[in-house]
Amino acid sequence: MSRLAAFDKFCAGLQASHMVVQWGGSHVHKIGPKMFAIGGGFPGEDSYIFKAMPMAFQVLKEQGLATRAPYLPRGNWLRVEGGAMSRKELFVHIEQSYHLIAASLTKVQRVELGLG
């Protein structure tokens, strides 16, 4: 299974998530109206974008594993090239991003999505 297919499968397994394809073929995963992860993009590009906690944002950048995500200058959005970290490590960060975004939803949105 390709890394992008595994990424899509992992994201689809997160409660109330859905995917749309936009911005030149990027696989944009959302919870409610808010995105929590982006995979792929332009043909042949193997990169992933997710929101990180401030400490993880700094550490991953300092270690050279990630860069600030293009077009997302605010918040702690990171871009990771496909081979920079293992799938397992990438999925840990994607799941943290999911939880960060889920927590930012309104109470009504969370209830509508079955998140409590």
Count the neighbouring beta carbons within 10 Å of the beta carbon of residue 4. Answer: 17
Using CA atoms, how far apart are residues 44 and 55, in angstroms rounded to an integer?
31
Output the pLDDT for position 21. 93
Instruction: Give domain limits for the chain.
Output: 3-112
What value does the mean pLDDT of the chain take? Answer: 92
**CATH code of the domain occupying 3-112:** 3.90.1150.30
DSSP string across the chain: --HHHHHHHHHHTSTTEEEEEETTTEEEEEETTEEEEEEE-STT--EEEEE--HHHHHHHHHTTS-EEPTT--SS-EEEEETTSS-HHHHHHHHHHHHHHHHHHS-HHHHHHTT--
Residue 41 has pLDDT above 80, yes or no: no
Q: pLDDT per residue over 51-90, tens digit each?
A: 999 999 999 999 999 999 988 888 899 999 888 899 999 9
Residue 47 has pLDDT above 60, yes or no: yes
Residue 113 has pLDDT above 60, yes or no: yes
Residue 15 has pLDDT above 90, yes or no: yes
> Which of the two residues, 4 and 24, has the higher pLDDT score?
4
